[in-house]
Amino acid sequence: GAVVSQHPSWVICKSGTSVKIECRSLDFQATTMFWYRQFPKQSLMLMATSNEGSKATYEQGVEKDKFLINHASLTLSTLTVTSAHPEDSSFYICSVSGTVVQKLFFGSGTQLSVL
């Protein structure tokens, strides 16, 4: 299966700062990438879908100005949490989906803690 690298694995930041999370598809041309958020003991909640070279599509209730997504190439997508607040603390996971293989491959996730 595809190898998806996500960094950092965990980050602690102060309230009001911005945090960038990177998601790289190492051996797979990822035309579409998904960003999920997961709270403890809950399932994955889709935040946004990004297609290479175009603007991301955000799910209802997700602030696009707060969660900036950039999918500039077929191998890299970034999620920037701007002006983070404690309620943004969560586990963020990216996934990739190709054009031929429709199943999702996931990164290892990023645990964000905002103090």
Partner 1 sequence: EDQVTQSPEALRLQEGESSSLNCSYTVSGLRGLFWYRQDPGKGPEFLFTLYSAGEEKEKERLKATLTKKESFLHITAPKPEDSATYLCAVQGSYGQNFVFGPGTRLSVLP
Does 97 engage in binding with partner 1 (CB under 8 A)? yes
Residues 6+ apart with CB under 8 A from 22: 5, 6, 7, 76, 77, 78
Does 89 engage in binding with partner 1 (CB under 8 A)? no
Identified binder of partner 1 from the candidate list 29, 70, 82, 111, rule CB under 8 A: 111
Identified binder of partner 1 from the candidate list 18, 108, 113, 115, rule CB under 8 A: 108
Q: How far is the CB of 109 from partner 1 (least distance, A)?
A: 5
Q: How far is the CB of 107 from partner 1 (least distance, A)?
A: 5
Measured between alpha carbons, how far apart are the two ends of the chain, in Å?
36
Q: Hey, how many other C-beta atoms are within 10 angstroms of the C-beta on 81?
A: 23
Among 69, 1, 5, 73, smallest CA distance to 35 is for 69
Residues that bind partner 1 (CB under 8 A): 1, 4, 6, 32, 34, 41-44, 46, 49, 91, 93, 95, 97, 102-109, 111
